[in-house]
Amino acid sequence: MDLKLVRSGSDNPDFIALVVLLDKELDERYGAQQGFFGQFNSLASIKQVVVAYADGVPAGCGAIKEYETGTTEVKRMFVKPELRGKGIAGAVLNELEQWACQSGYSHTILQTGMNQPEAVALYSKAGYQHIENYGQYAGTDDSICMKKRL
C-alpha cells in the first residue's frame, strides 16, 4: 500500500467526505448521545487537517485545533473500516503531532469515548496519558480524555 499524507484545511472535500463517514459511525456507536458531542466538532473552527491517501484513495483523516496557548486538541480522527489495522491512524496522528510541534505547541489533548477501545489503544500506544475530563467533557461518563507532551 502506498500511503500519502496531505496537510490541508477543513475545506478539503476528501476530509469533509471522511468526516461524514466518521459521524455516521459515531451515531451508530453512541446513538442519541452523539448529538451532545457533535456540537463540539464544527469544521469551521478547524484549520489544520491531515488526509491520508492509500493508493490514491482517501483512507483516513485527523485534525488539530488550538485548545489554549501551548496546547492543541486532536479532532476528527478516522480511518475507513476496511483499511484499519494498516498503520494509517498512527501515521495521521504522528503527522498531526509533528505539525503541532512546528506550530509551536508543546502538548496535545484529545477526547474519545468508551465505545472506541481501538482509539484508546492507538492513543495509549502513541504515548498519551489519561487525564481528568476537560472543558465540555467534564462530567460526561462516556468520555475518555488524554494528553501528551510533544
Check: CATH 3.40.630.30 for 3-149?
yes
What's the pLDDT tens digit per position in 66-104?
999 999 999 999 999 999 999 999 999 999 999 999 999
What's the pLDDT tens digit per position in 109-144?
999 998 899 999 999 999 999 999 999 889 888 899
- Rounded Cα distance between 82 and 118, Å, is 14
Contacts of 30 (CB under 8 A, 6+ apart): 37, 113, 115, 142
| In contact, 79 and 93? CB cutoff 8 Å | no
What is the pTM for the complete model shown?
Answer: 0.93
